[in-house]
Structure 1
């Protein structure tokens, strides 16, 4: 499966950000979600998803998950009260329970890692791939991710060859799971959909890729391997997205400060 399989008949839309004049922050009101200007702003998000799609391309069909609509019914997104993990592998939570709750917790945390700013840094990306994926997929995916996140790609999102933003800029890519749903489950295999929102872009005066939000659903096929849930494959599709609120946008300094001061969370079902 690939992240683009479920978009527009199998094609991922890639829109590059246009050049802007001056500071795009400055307390301006956010335009409506459907406006052409907002489509331009979120181009970097679509570009990032397209790169992940390329890296995860496996040609396994139409990208649909589940068991022909006969999977478990959706459950309310409420905490189970079970501790989600027993430890961590690097900065990523690890040690999930070998059950449905553990699979959902793993999928939520893995979705966060796969769309993080760290995935754009070569050394950190290799750590993430080795920590998240089943061993027989690691070598293949390392090569595909490296090819997807090429210097040309990094240039397009305003980063240098090491995945760092220019001086005075802060690159932001942070995802927050809203809910999880199991569509397939057996003793050692689970397919979990994770509904996510997130903030993506570059904070800084004069940025042509200002930080904006997005909504998407990531589907992860997990396999029990080495005493933990690991990713075998994943895909992504847009939405469900709510109506975009017409709120005053924060300036670049406020966004950058929030990213530095607010730490990430361990997610649990």
Structure 2
């Protein structure tokens, strides 16, 4: 990953870009386990289908900082994009609270970090490492990273104790008042009145590229939503595609991130689905909760 002139890296790929699969690309999908008693939303009639050092940081810490700071790429991309507005005029529709689901089945992940609600207690296996990487990608790509208290809790929760401190310092500088202003937020990171800030990451699949008893390297292919939904928004919600590679270490009976990196894509060709208006996007974000992912 190369950093741009602004220090945050290059803009992530968008739908419609090149999407050649890298050598060895694994098409195994990440399984999302539904809660007990919840029906299959598709129903029974679904048709079957066929390093150096810099800035006083060690190389390991520098990689970690770069890996997570690039999660700001999408926000910077639409911050630099002018014009355009969401079409609907009312953002005060249904305000249903988004509730996360919990996985079920054989040996589900039942633990959660008390401060963040992020899943914990992953299995000491290759699949457990992939499950951890998926859930950590969701946390690091969410809107909680734009608030100081929750960002600190998230970073501490998903990183190793030796990687977190340097990363906290770098991110505190990155999430500055000027950055928030460029993104379209208030100087404290909150959304302007009448607008809803959206930052959500959805893992599409995972692949373990290296594994040993105490370390694992997992690539998480993700799509994401980022922008401001609401009447008059000049930073409308857009879709991004990227692959986040995490180097995990077994610490304190769980997998934690020692370092991470990110690159754009692979992005599919954009479909013909009409873009939703401001009210519909706002209600979807507020009404649809995220998942806990299991491999």
TM superposition shift of 1:82: 4.4
Q: Structure 1, residues 40-76: CA drift from partner, whole Å, max 9, x if none?
A: xxxxxxxxxxxxxxxxxxxxxxxxxxxxxxxxxxxxx
Which of 69, 82, 106 pairs up with 1:19? 82
* 1:149 corresponds to 2:175: yes
Once the two structures are superposed, the pairs formed by residues 163-174 of structure 1 within 5 Å of their partners are 163-174=189-200
State the SS of the aligned residue for 2:173.
helix
State the SS of the aligned residue for 2:163.
helix
Which of 200, 212, 216 pairs up with 1:190? 216
TM superposition shift of 1:84: 4.4
Structure 2 gaps, min length 5: 12-76, 90-102
Quote the RMSD (CA, aligned, Å). 2.3
State the SS of the aligned residue for 2:110.
strand
TM superposition shift of 1:86: 2.8
Calculate the TM-score normalised by the size of structure 1.
Answer: 0.74
- Corresponding residue for residue 282 of structure 2: 256
Indicate conservation of the 8 Å contact 1:6/1:237, yes or no.
no
- 1: distance between equivalents of 2:225 and 2:163? 29
- 2: distance between equivalents of 1:116 and 1:137? 20
Structure 1 gaps, min length 5: 28-78
- Corresponding residue for residue 112 of structure 2: 88
- Corresponding residue for residue 228 of structure 1: 254
Q: Relative to structure 2, which stretch is displaced further, 154-163 or 177-186?
A: 154-163
Calculate the TM-score normalised by the size of structure 2.
Answer: 0.67
Q: Which structure ranks higher in relative contact order (CA pairs < 8 Å, sequence separation ≥ 6)?
A: 2
* 1:105 corresponds to 2:167: no
- 2: distance between equivalents of 1:182 and 1:262? 29
